[in-house]
Amino acid sequence: MIHSDITAQLETVVPDSHAGVTAESAVATAQPTGRPALDYTDGTGLRPWQLSVAPMIDVTDRHCRYFHRLLAPNALLYTEMITTGALIFGDVPRHLRFSAQEHPVALQLGGSESAALAQCARLGQRWGYDEINLNCGCPSERVQKGAFGACLMAEPALVADCVKAMQDAVSLPVTVKHRLGLDYDQSYDFVRDFVGQLYDTGCRVFIAHARNAVLKGLSPKDNRDIPPLRYNVVSQLKQDFPDALFVLNGGLNTPDLICFAAGEFDGAMVGRAAWHEPYLLREISLRLWPDTPVADDATIVQRMAEYARSEVMQGVPLRVIVKPMLGLFNGCKGARQWRRYLSDPAHLATQNPDILLQAFAFVD
């Protein structure tokens, strides 16, 4: 079903369009792990970016991604943004460890120094990630103080150097997640030229959050809601750079809208909706890939209990494994009891994964 809001936006003509330069496609070679690197289509003909779950700080950790994989077998999953400093000076295994079941999974990096980003991209490839993504969209003040995130859009030549350094360091696709502009400047020239400079490095996958980033005066939450959505601008970019891929992000919160965006663009990236209403991922997956089986509720709960049992034995707090699952049954009878049972400190303190099975008994 075509969503009227997105259709109206796509029909709006963006002035001052620019014909994209044609160049040979950047095809990634095989990873050292032996798994095929992401390409425009994978070995089964699937488009890897057709459906993805956005990188979200304090949300898309490895436990959340394992859970999302059960709901969306073909979706591309992203890590939280991990800064170059955290990897160069911190605990690499803690940041990069993940389960093989999470594939395909992309590592999102935050940074602005080309050498550091190249070093971290190599780490990502060594640990078996399928894609390296550079964050040029986060508007938080903390990220700005580190001179990366959305503020990098003001320095496209620097971003191009960073992308080129990562491309030279790894054989994986190097992609960029960005906004459409900064503060209240809605000039198409700005984002067109930003994309153009990265395109010239060979970057061919752009994940566009279809809003501006307001760097002063709005919180990260407000930046997800207040700046107006401009899907038509992403559509214009897709026309101007026809051999690049543009994945739409921002405001995609219903199955109809997400599935339409996945067809109208080169993919749809789901953000907070995947956190608040994770069951949407299963519905979208069944629509996009009707021949791919998706686990039912009982199987998901059982699989997560088994996963939790293994993780708890390694010292992982049960609460961090359960947290992404709280919204699984929103709108169903028993959802409130499910959430309450799994949020009860006394239950969580037992470190007994069977509380998932016990909580599931409330759901009808």
The catalytic site residues sit at: 138
- The CA distance from 232 to 235, in Å, is 5
Structure tokens at 194: 């930003």
Structure tokens at 308: 């939790």
Q: What is the DSSP string of 83-151?
A: EHHHHHHS-HHHHH---GGG-SEEEEEE---HHHHHHHHHHHHHTT-SEEEEEE----HHHHHTT-GGG
Q: Are 83 and 110 in contact (CB under 8 A)?
A: yes
The residues, ordered by sequence, that sit 6+ positions from 275 with a Cβ below 8 Å of its Cβ are 56, 59, 64, 324, 327
CA distance between the termini of the chain = 29
Distances in Å between the Cα of 27 and the Cα atoms of 23, 174, 203 are 12, 11, 10
Task: Please report where in the chains the tokens 């809208």 appear, as a residue.
Answer: 257
- The CA distance from 176 to 56, in Å, is 15
